[in-house]
Amino acid sequence: DNSKAWSGRFSEPVSDLVMRYTASVFFDQRMAMQDIRGSLAHAAMLARQGIISTQDLADIERGMAQLRDEIERGEFQWSLQDEDVHLNIEKRLTALIGDAGKRLHTGRSRNDQVATDIRLWLRDAIDQILALLGHFQRALLDLAEANADTPLPGFTHLQVAQPVTFGHHLMAYCEMARRDAERFADCRKRVNRLPLGSAALAGTSYPIDREFVARELGFDEVCENSLDAVSDRDFAIEFCAASSLLMVHLSRLSEELILWMSPRVGFIDLADRFCTGSSIMPQKKNPDVPELVRGKTGRVNGSLITLLTLMKGQPLAYNKDNQEDKEPLFDTADTVIDTLRIYTDMIPGIRVKADAMRDALSQGFATATDLADYLVKKGVPFRDAHEVVARAVRAAETRGCDLPDLPLADLRAFSELIDEDVYQVLTVEGALGSRDHIGGTAPAQVRAAIGRARKRLG
């Protein structure tokens, strides 16, 4: 049977090229299970409302069960001729059960059907991502806890700024991941509304019960306007925006891992299983996984722009343009899910080289701010203290030593207010311990932050 579901109106078939160009079955078949679920809920509603018979419903349920088996076993014959996942399934259903299969499409259109399928599919993807974000945060928390006291230079402009602990540094990424999870959870609220019942664009003349279908499919509510429900993909764009931000965060972390693993820095080592060698340079161990995370952030950002651009010129209601929403959306979800999985495995395999981190802290005058604060606490206005310390730094630099290596007499030449107790302030531990408030890098605060994060994750 070569006829298409809609070919009755046409006097000639489409060319092979047009058929291939307009078909979506090769990428939308991955929504098959969602399509079947949606159809079963729709059919149940039609029967309940007396729009189809209970015998029709029983036939549809029997046919769909067989069809589902065929798909799961990989035996289903997807055909380009039948354009998309919806028509492929409907055609096979009708071949299996006859007229009841043809009644399934009563009171519905592919426009509300596809919007429903995408939302069901995306809801599952979001739930998976939320679970993975939980695992990712726990992996960060474990490493942060083990390094709540490990000093490391904090940088601004990639120049040594002040000491922080490695645990504090990791907790920054944990906060980012927490906000990412909030964004996905928030986006899920708007994904989880039911478009079905909007039919092609205006609703339908059958006495349908949309609330019933919403309950059957686990939607929180129904979409309130039929034109909007079949045409907007803002929920997919929100998902891609949340994904882009998550990937940007992971990309920043990746950049740091790559930098830290460079022998010139040497702060960490990554487990071998996340690295690859070189075919020419026998000594190489390259951080391929973080590099690819950084690289794949580009495609995820690109998909966001694809979807925004896809929507911007579309008049109401449905246009075929919208068929182009799926590949970027699927690719984004696949990339985010794989990236979170691999990252969660990679984090426990990070070997921290605490000596190298501490070593790096002895260069760059990381406690200069502490010396200024010390003077302020003795009554010097901050701007004057800044000037005094700048001169002390210049002296230390000329001598090729760090601030705490300057003898007291030399320090006192810059300010008489400096006493023996300055050396406590100039140590890394002193600097860390003094930043003792919520959000600060004091080890006790880092531990408290880890505790709060664990509690939130449950």
Hey, what amino acid is at 28? Answer: D
Of residues 304 through 333, those in contact with ligand ARG by CB under 6 A are 318, 320, 322-323
226 binds ligand ARG (CB under 6 A): no
Contact stretch for ligand ARG (CB under 6 A) within 41-49, 110-118, 169-177, 256-264:
110-118
Record the tokens describing residue 196, joined without a space.
């079905």
35 binds ligand ARG (CB under 6 A): no
CB of 323 to ligand ARG, least distance (A): 4
Binds ligand ARG (CB under 6 A): choice among 35, 59, 84, 90: 84
Binds ligand ARG (CB under 6 A): choice among 39, 94, 111, 198: 111
CA separation for the pair 407, 256 (Å, rounded): 36
Beta bridge partners of 162: 154
123 binds ligand ARG (CB under 6 A): no
Residue 92 near residue 75 (C-beta atoms within 8 A): no
Comparison of 78 and 423: residue with beta carbon closer to ligand ARG: 78
Record the tokens describing residue 237, joined without a space.
């764009």
- According to DSSP, the β-strands at 151-156 and 159-165 are antiparallel
CB of 81 to ligand ARG, least distance (A): 14
Comparison of 318 and 414: residue with beta carbon closer to ligand ARG: 318
445 binds ligand ARG (CB under 6 A): no
Q: What is the CA radius of gyration of the chain?
A: 31
CB of 18 to ligand ARG, least distance (A): 13
Comparison of 314 and 427: residue with beta carbon closer to ligand ARG: 314
- C-alpha closest to that of 341 among 146, 172, 139: 139
Kindly report the length of the chain: 458
56 binds ligand ARG (CB under 6 A): no
251 binds ligand ARG (CB under 6 A): no
Record the tokens describing residue 342, joined without a space.
């691999």
Binds ligand ARG (CB under 6 A): choice among 37, 108, 110, 119: 110
Comparison of 282 and 313: residue with beta carbon closer to ligand ARG: 313
| E strand or H helix that includes residue 316 | none
CA separation for the pair 213, 108 (Å, rounded): 12
Hey, what amino acid is at 303? Answer: S
177 binds ligand ARG (CB under 6 A): no
Q: CB within 8 A of 153, min separation 6: which ones?
A: 160, 161, 162, 163, 164, 357, 360, 361, 364, 366
Residue 71 φ/ψ region, left for φ over 0, alpha for ψ in the -120 to 50 degree band, beta for the rest: alpha
Indicate which residues carry an active-site annotation.
Answer: 157, 278
Comparison of 15 and 159: residue with beta carbon closer to ligand ARG: 15
9 binds ligand ARG (CB under 6 A): no
Comparison of 239 and 318: residue with beta carbon closer to ligand ARG: 318
Q: CB within 8 A of 114, min separation 6: which ones?
A: 28, 84, 86, 322
198 binds ligand ARG (CB under 6 A): no
Comparison of 201 and 241: residue with beta carbon closer to ligand ARG: 201
Contact stretch for ligand ARG (CB under 6 A) within 54-62, 109-117, 360-368, 396-404:
109-117
DSSP symbols for 78-143? --GGG-SHHHHHHHHHHHHHTHHHHHTTTT--HHHHHHHHHHHHHHHHHHHHHHHHHHHHHHHHHH
CB of 70 to ligand ARG, least distance (A): 21
270 binds ligand ARG (CB under 6 A): no
Query: 260: helix, coil or strand?
Result: helix
CB of 201 to ligand ARG, least distance (A): 10
Residue whose tokens read 């966001």: 304
Per rule CB under 6 A, count of chain residues that contact ligand ARG:
10
CB of 317 to ligand ARG, least distance (A): 10
Residue whose tokens read 């990791």: 170
CB of 208 to ligand ARG, least distance (A): 19
CA separation for the pair 28, 25 (Å, rounded): 5
| CB neighbourhood size of 186 (10 A) | 11
CB of 77 to ligand ARG, least distance (A): 18
Comparison of 5 and 161: residue with beta carbon closer to ligand ARG: 5
Binding site for ligand ARG (CB under 6 A): 24, 28, 84, 110-111, 114, 318, 320, 322-323
